[in-house]
Amino acid sequence: MNIEILQLIEGAKRAKGLTVIIDVFRAFTMEAYMMARGAEKVIPIGDCDLAYKLKQENPDIILAGERGGKILPGFDVGNSPWELLQLDVTGKTVVHTTSAGTQGIANATGADEILGASLVTAKAVSEYIKKSGAEHVSLVCMGLEGISETEEDTLCAEYIKSLLIGGSVNMEKEIENLKVTSGAKFFDPAQKDVFPAEDFAMCTEVDKFDFVLRLNTDGKGLSYMEKICL
């Protein structure tokens, strides 16, 4: 198995084989919690206008997402797992658009198969990859808005790779480091309305879920995430 770690939007464009789009803070942590809380379907998209269009066509859809970390106008929830806990998504379709994670999916046009990943599903992702028989695996770290590398996404990629090749990563130490690097925003009182501290804890609960998020396509050509339990 050939495993490569790629970065940002350009990395997504170069990805091939079984492609794992990684966004720890917070897109694919958010989607994992959506699925765990009973959402019927999650539709990750890159285009805000399409999100509004889908909502207009089906008012029962829940809109979730952000730009610059902030909830988009008219959306039901931003990109905060903590805020999601206040919302009942059971049996609902959620349309999700973000600055980084969902942009990676939109740009991974050369992939054979796409998974969305974060620390909460990392081990499940590695198990899925092992069972897939894939010859080439692309681990794409989406970083900040898809244009700047971040420690948490690279950590997630290195952790998944270590699970695949038999290496080791000191996750407890690395997560502590995140508190003073890319995760510091969650502990900044001036940003608590956008980046609540509770999100950091939820995003760094390593291997919390035993399922993966796999991209599928419906009969109308609209892509959505399905929950694959292992």
Whether the link from the prior residue into 26 is cis, omega within 30° of 0, is yes
- Residues 178-214: b if buried by 16+ CB within 10 A, e if exposed: beeebbebbeeeeeeebbbbebbebbbebbbbebbbb
Instruction: Give the three-class secondary structure for 155.
Output: helix
The type of residue at 119 is L
- Could you tell me which of 192, 180, 195, 145 has the C-alpha nearest to residue 23? 145
pLDDT in tens, 94-124: 999 999 999 999 999 999 999 999 999 999 9
**Binning pLDDT at 50, 70 and 90, where does residue 44 land?**
very high
Q: What is the pLDDT of residue 220?
A: 80
Q: Taking 90 as the threshold, does the pLDDT of residue 47 lie above it? A: yes
- Could you tell me which of 97, 114, 90, 116 has the C-alpha nearest to residue 53? 97
pLDDT in tens, 204-225: 999 999 999 999 998 888 899 9
d(CA 170, CA 108): 30
| Stated pTM of the model | 0.97
DSSP H or E segment with residue 116: strand 111-117
Cβ neighbours of residue 175 under 8 Å, at least 6 residues apart?
A: 155, 204, 206
> Could you give the dihedral angle defined by the CA atoms of residues 63, 67, 70 and 72, in that order, rounded to the nearest 10 degrees?
-40
**Binning pLDDT at 50, 70 and 90, where does residue 48 land?**
very high
d(CA 175, CA 181): 10
Q: Is the CB of residue 28 less than 8 Å from the CB of residue 213?
A: yes
Q: Is the CB of residue 62 less than 8 Å from the CB of residue 92?
A: yes
Q: What is the pLDDT of residue 190?
A: 97
**Which two structure tokens, joined as six digits, stand for 220?**
């109308």
Q: Taking 90 as the threshold, does the pLDDT of residue 69 lie above it? A: yes
Q: What is the pLDDT of residue 73?
A: 97
d(CA 94, CA 16): 27
d(CA 15, CA 186): 30
Domains of the chain: 2-229 (3.90.1560.10)
Instruction: Give the three-class secondary structure for 88.
Output: coil
Q: What is the pLDDT of residue 219?
A: 81
- What are the φ/ψ torsions at residue 191 (nearest 5 degrees)? -115, 10
pLDDT in tens, 150-177: 999 999 999 999 999 999 999 999 999 9
pLDDT in tens, 72-89: 999 999 999 999 999 999
